Amino acid sequence: AQSVSQHNHHVILSEAASLELGCNYSYGGTVNLFWYVQYPGQHLQLLLKYFSGDPLVKGIKGFEAEFIKSKFSFNLRKPSVQWSDTAEYFCAGNTGNQFYFGTGTSLTVIP
Amino acid sequence: DVKVTQSSRYLVKRTGEKVFLECVQDMDHENMFWYRQDPGLGLRLIYFSYDVKMKEKGDIPEGYSVSREKKERFSLILESASTNQTSMYLCASRPFGGVDEQFFGPGTRLTVL
């Protein structure tokens, strides 16, 4: 079955620390991959997406993600987090019309 | 910008009531989706629709139905609300096919007493 998994459920970092959130997917064929962010009290919004080409994808607010096909991974990274990055982060995969979401990672950044 | 709106941000209903959650998008998207979001479970797909009057069950359709009479509007119906349906409900839309992401509404936090 197609699925997306996020292994970090809750991450706590100090400001300026580096961030890496894991995401793995299980698909046999072509897949589009996304990272969404949900700030407290706000709706989900897209951080970045990958569908083909350069496996290193840059998104908004200094985030990037790398698609590694051999590892079925699409990890999210940011070199230096800020307090305003406190949010919930969701990885998602898409084939056809269906999307599959991970269970989310709650990130807390301590000033 | 794409805009997806949901009829209510907060809703409180009693067990057994019929509940309607409305979602409207303004970008002529073919696909629309209903999810519920629960802590530790992420987003789970209830139903989606790829065209007017068309619908497909998602992962957790039990206790829910949907209606799509117009392209821009997708309604989620709880025929007889139960306490285990207390949750955050998210609507999303997306163009048909391609590589576009989903666009989400602000969500409706439903409490069933």
Say what the pLDDT of residue A97 is: 75
Which residues of chain A lie closer than 8 angstroms to B101, CB-CB?
Answer: 34, 36, 46, 49
Give the pLDDT band (50/70/90) at residue B33.
very high
- Which helix (H) or strand (E) element contains residue A110? strand A105-110
Distance from the Cα of residue B79 to its chain's centroid: 14
Contact A97 B96 (CB under 8 A): yes
Q: How do residues B37-65 score in pLDDT, each as one tens digit?
A: 998 899 999 999 999 989 999 999 999 99
A63 within 8 A of A57, measured Cβ to Cβ: no
Average pLDDT of adjacent 10-residue blocks, chain A of 111 residues: 87 97 87 93 93 93 94 96 97 86 95 92
The phi, psi pair for A94, rounded to 5°, reads -140, 130
Say what the pLDDT of residue B63 is: 96
Give the nearest partner residue to B42 out of A32, A46, A103, using CB atoms. A103
As a whole number of angstroms, the distance between CA B65 and CA B34 comes to 10
Of residues B96, B91, B100, the one with CA closest to residue B36? B91
Minimal CA separation from A17 to chain B, in Å: 25
Say whether A59 sits in a helix, a strand or coil: coil
Q: How do residues B76-101 score in pLDDT, each as one tens digit?
A: 999 999 999 999 999 999 988 767 88
* B1: Cβ contacts below 8 Å, ≥ 6 apart: none
Mutate to test the interface with B, among A8, A101, A105, A106 (most CBs of B within 10 A): A101
Mean pLDDT of chain B: 93
Give the nearest partner residue to A49 out of B42, B90, B101, using CB atoms. B101
Contact B101 A44 (CB under 8 A): no
Say what the pLDDT of residue A94 is: 87
Minimal CA separation from B43 to chain A, in Å: 6
Q: Locate the DSSP E strands across chain A.
A: 3-5, 10-14, 19-21, 24-26, 32-38, 45-50, 56-58, 64-68, 73-78, 87-95, 98-101, 105-110
Say what the pLDDT of residue B21 is: 97
> Can you tell me the mean pLDDT for B10-32?
95
Which residues of chain B lie closer than 8 angstroms to A48, CB-CB?
Answer: none
Give the pLDDT band (50/70/90) at residue B12.
very high
Give the pLDDT band (50/70/90) at residue B2.
low
Which residues of chain B lie closer than 8 angstroms to A45, CB-CB?
Answer: 104
Question: Chain A residue with minimal CA distance to B40?
Answer: A103
